[in-house]
A and B are shown apart, each in its own frame.
Chain A
Amino acid sequence: MPLSETVISCRNVWKLFGPSPESYLKGLHGDPGVEAIRQAGYISAVRDVSLDIGRGEMLVIMGLSGSGKSTLVRCLSRLIEITGGTVTVEGQDIGALSEKQLIGLRRSKMGMVFQSFGLLPHRTVLENVAFPLEMRGQDRATRRKRALEVIELVGLDGREDYFPRELSGGQQQRVGIARSLAIEPDIWFLDEPFSALDPLIRREMQDEFLRLQEMLGKTIVFITHDFDEALRLADRIAIMKDGAVEQCDTPDQIVLNPATDYVRKFTEEIEKARVVHASGLARPINGTVPEGQPVAGKSTIRALARMLVNDSREVLPVSDETGRITGGLNRQEALNVLLGGQA
């Protein structure tokens, strides 16, 4: 994915818990490792993380529980104060914002969805969805109109007078999603939004989410502990362990070239052919365009299986959405991926 313009950028972000984290961090030169920090009596929730998120990009932060992924997203939205480093949103250092400016930023640019929904139990669906608009001080009629629009968008029309406890988990999360979209944010944080749902509903909500993203094209930071979910949704995945990012790359690259043993463990169980796209495996071509019918870059190797087996060409041309040839796919490499060997 070409990075057009960086929306969120974090540089050497640290979050430490302990007696006096700031002065401890000042004394550090680089990252001494999670054990050394623990020995010193501190807990490192986020350790020296640097990431850039481009406009319209979906970055999925993946990690097991305790890896610091939820803390990181709260650093990006300044729900918690960071110990060191900087987080900039559209060029603005959010650590330097005053309380009032921060509230202004949240009211105009940010939306967030929570794992256990975070709905207000005493308000109806409509009132929950309209809540951020109410905080902005918009009048009742405008609030209602906009809220009904988003409620319809997430497919809850007809339920606007229900209370959260009268809805199923999936429906409650739809309310959470609707609420986060009410102010038309540019940046959308989703903290394990589907983890509390059962597997069938989760799948359905992922599809729904992809549909919404197709329509809205937001800049998204999505947190999950589910590697399959990450592969399914992400433009790029950042895999976290003990507060640090182990690898941040496209799903294709993570599956094909895991950077560390930890990342490799996740990829071992994955059927790579379902993840890797033709474009991800393609090599640049130096002038000579391979002959014959090109394959679409966005199709997975799994989808091309029959053709790869039947074709006899050594290198297949790969095209992007516009039909332009972007590279060549080595058929043997592709077959290796398909058959489960190393590429």
Chain B
Amino acid sequence: MSESTLPDRSPTPITPAFNPTWALLALAMLLIAARPILPDGLMRPADILILPLADWINALFAWLRDDLGLIHVTRAIADGIEWLLNVTANILYGKNRWPRVGPLPWSVVALTAACLGYWLGGARLAALAGGTFVWIALMGQWKWTMETLSVIVVAAPFSVLFGLVTAVAAWRWRGFETVLNPVLNIAQSMPHFAYMIPVVVFIGVGPKAGAIVTIIFSVPPMIRMTLLGLRKVPHEVIESGKMCGSTSWQLMTRVRIPTARTDILVGVNQVIMQCLAMVVLASFIGMPGLGQKLLQLLQALKIGRSIEIGITIVLLAVALDRCSKAWAERQPTHHEPGIGWATRHRVLLIWAALMVAGFAISAVIPFFAEVSRGQSLSVADPIDAVMSFIIVTIDPVTQWLRWFLITWVLIPVRDTLLWFPYTAVLVALAALGYAVGGWRSALVCLGFFGYIAISGWWDRAMITVYTVLVAVIVAASFGFPLGIWAARHAARARRVLLLCDTLQTFPSFIYLIPVIMLFGVNDVAVVGAVVLFAAVPLIRYTIEGLRGVPEAMLEAADMSGATRGQSLRHVRLPLAFPTIMVGLNQSLMFSLFMVIIAAFIGTQDLGQEMQRALSSTDVGKGLVLGFAVAFIGLMADHVIRRMANT
């Protein structure tokens, strides 16, 4: 059903004499048919075509690093950040550094979180935020969590500030924005690992490298949201500011930025979520904390404890997300005159009282300061028992599924993609580009994949493409129907959207836990994780698109005597199409990221190579691969946008 709507919408340029789309497709077919007699140079890029990009980048980095002495600058910045990290590390988990006051008792942190939650969003948020920290303490994961949080606490403000300043500069100087936009596009489609390698080159490994890579990774959404917010400030608000005699500085600081507050805070929310996702992944470059623990446990296949850590990360993600969203949505309210200071600052007073109580109780009863190993309530063993029971019980099913997918879906698709001459793929992509957006789009598609051909990673890239394709098709095959089903009733749609929303806050790493549990470490697990991750935006945007159709249109369809099916086919799906395409787009992007992350459970694609580049700190190779992944994503993005806009 879903697929059938797509071709309808793609424009078919009607030129009876000569249609480049078909001509290009025919050429691609011809290349495939002529495969046996095709010269090698048309099968795979000839060696002379492959540019030594990695060497060039390495030379450039060596020059930057050593000859230009950039390393001294980066080291100095890193040292500053390390100093800050030591302060938060001392306060949160008692690392022996200045100011040597920590660690804070866990009960105090939990109470603070609860008060903050209450202030931002009432009792439910208080329970969520407080409960999260109680769980963490009781499960005996306090130290790892605090290691993770101590980095976020430093990284998030830096990226917010950096993003804000950059966005204001881009807003102010048109030229800067023109340069910035493509950089942001590429940065946002680069996989996480691509960021890590240059950081390792310049900073090294460990917490400070983790913090810096986190800052860099989480800046782009902040810039985007701030720019959006500044653009959205109503014209008349600005004019009223001008007529009040504001200088341009006053206009920026007292009119534009405060009025754009909500969008900027949504940016802050995204920064926090990106930080969490990255901090977890930064375990690959020696960042201690929850991510590292999870990685070790997953590699050792300790399912019970992985699940516990997974729950912690999820709780943390949801709590951080809900609290920062509540902050963004918070609207100012007035106090009736004559209300005292104490009433107006009730939460603050309660917090202060609780602090005193928390510190006092922790001093008397050590349990409330720190939950020792023996006291933790870890339930890993029973979980392991239950899980292994479940796994054994459904083993025939998973076994069969694994066999079926590998033998009949994954390997055939992969082999077919690899069997195609690269010239045929390029020509076919050009045909696709021409079909959606004329010669310009054809050139864009050709350009992006042409880079992959000359980068020398064609086969690896095809494996990435195949994983993404299979995963997105599988995700769409159940995601679209599910979305359509959920969109039928308002209440149901709301519930499913809430679920999707929550699932989207999970760091990508989390999705690996259940699939590894079920399928072990192989291709099926990778595809499974990608499918799960990719299905969420598809379902979400399908629902949002369908629910977003104006009521009047549906009433008009009903009054024209349309059945429910007709109304869906002729009114709701066409009107929801652009939104659904946004979902498909996001789904593809997410899949790409996930495929790369999943590399550590053994794939043969670009991600695997990137892991290798990371462990040998080969920055040239890492960036070449990163661009390859980014360009796959950007090409898909371009094609889908074109389709949605026509």
Q: Which residues of A line the B interface, CB within 8 A?
A: 74, 77, 79, 103-104, 106-107, 110-112, 114-124, 131-132, 134-136, 158, 161-163, 165-166, 176, 179-180, 183, 189
Contact = CB atoms under 8 A, between A and B. Distances in A.
Interface string B560-573: 00000000000000
A104 B247 CA distance: 10
Contact of A161 (B236, B242, B334): B334
A121 B239 contact: no
Contact of B237 (A111, A119, A124, A162): A119
B243 A77 contact: yes
Given A79-B242, A132-B245, A116 B234 contact: yes
Contacts of A74: 239
A114 B335 contact: no
A112 B243 contact: yes
30 contacts: A79-B242, A103-B246, A104-B245, A106-B242, A106-B245, A107-B244, A107-B245, A112-B239, A112-B243, A116-B236, A117-B236, A118-B236, A118-B237, A118-B240, A124-B332, A124-B334, A131-B241, A131-B244, A132-B243, A132-B244, A135-B244, A135-B246, A135-B247, A135-B250, A165-B331, A176-B240, A179-B240, A179-B244, A183-B245, A189-B243
Contacts of A103: 245-247
Contact of B259 (A117, A120, A163): A120
A79 B239 contact: yes
B334 A166 contact: yes
B646 interface: no
B333 interface: yes
Contact of A166 (B241, B254, B261, B333): B333
B275 interface: no
A189 B244 CA distance: 12
A226 B606 CA distance: 66
A163 B331 contact: yes
Given A79-B239, A162-B334, 6 more contacts: A103-B246, A111-B243, A118-B239, A131-B241, A132-B244, A135-B245
A34 B459 CA distance: 62
B245 to A, nearest CB: 3
Contacts of B334: 124, 161-163, 166
Contacts of A131: 241, 244, 254
B237 A122 contact: no
A221 B332 CA distance: 34
B635 interface: no
A183 B337 CA distance: 26
A107 B246 CA distance: 8
A219 to B, nearest CB: 15
Given A163-B334, A166-B333, A121 B259 contact: yes
A79 B337 contact: no
Interface string B317-345: 00000000000000111110100000000
B80 interface: no
A106 B258 CA distance: 22
Contacts of B331: 163, 165
Given A161-B337, A163-B333, A166-B334, A110 B243 contact: yes
B239 A114 contact: yes
Given A132-B245, A179-B244, A120 B258 contact: yes
A300 B239 CA distance: 39
B255 interface: yes
Contacts of A116: 234, 236
Nearest to A163: B332
A106 B237 contact: no
A114 B241 CA distance: 11
A122 B239 contact: no
Nearest to B246: A135
Contacts of B255: 120
Contacts of A110: 243
Nearest to A116: B236
Contacts of B234: 116, 118
Contacts of B254: 120, 131, 134
Contacts of A104: 245
Contacts of A135: 244-247, 250
A154 to B, nearest CB: 16
B237 to A, nearest CB: 5
Report the 9 A-B pairs with minimum CB-CB distance, sorted nearest first. A118-B240, A107-B245, A118-B236, A132-B244, A112-B243, A106-B245, A114-B236, A161-B334, A122-B258
Contacts of A107: 244-245
B259 A106 contact: no
A122 B236 contact: no
Contacts of B246: 103, 135
B332 to A, nearest CB: 5
Contacts of B237: 118-120
Contacts of A158: 337
A158 B242 CA distance: 28
Nearest to A136: B245
Given A120-B258, A161-B337, A166-B333, A115 B236 contact: yes
Interface string B169-201: 000000000000000000000000000000000
A297 B571 CA distance: 64
Given A122-B258, A122-B332, A79 B236 contact: no
Contacts of B247: 103, 135
Interface in B199-257: 234, 236-237, 239-247, 250, 254-255
Contacts of B335: 161
B238 to A, nearest CB: 8
A79 B243 CA distance: 8
B263 to A, nearest CB: 12
A134 B245 CA distance: 10
A165 B247 CA distance: 26
A104 B244 CA distance: 10
Contacts of A118: 234, 236-237, 239-241
A335 to B, nearest CB: 47
Nearest to A104: B245
Given A106-B245, A120-B259, A114 B240 contact: yes
B376 to A, nearest CB: 45
Contacts of A120: 237, 240-241, 254-255, 258-259
Contacts of A162: 334
A158 B338 CA distance: 12
A112 B240 contact: yes
Nearest to B332: A163
A161 B336 CA distance: 8
A335 B242 CA distance: 51
A106 B243 contact: yes
Given A79-B239, A163-B334, A122 B245 contact: no
B578 to A, nearest CB: 28
A54 B258 CA distance: 38
A287 B240 CA distance: 54
A162 B244 CA distance: 21
A136 B335 CA distance: 28
Interface string B403-434: 00000000000000000000000000000000
B255 to A, nearest CB: 6
A127 to B, nearest CB: 10
A122 B244 contact: no
Contacts of B245: 103-104, 106-107, 132, 135-136, 183
A156 to B, nearest CB: 13
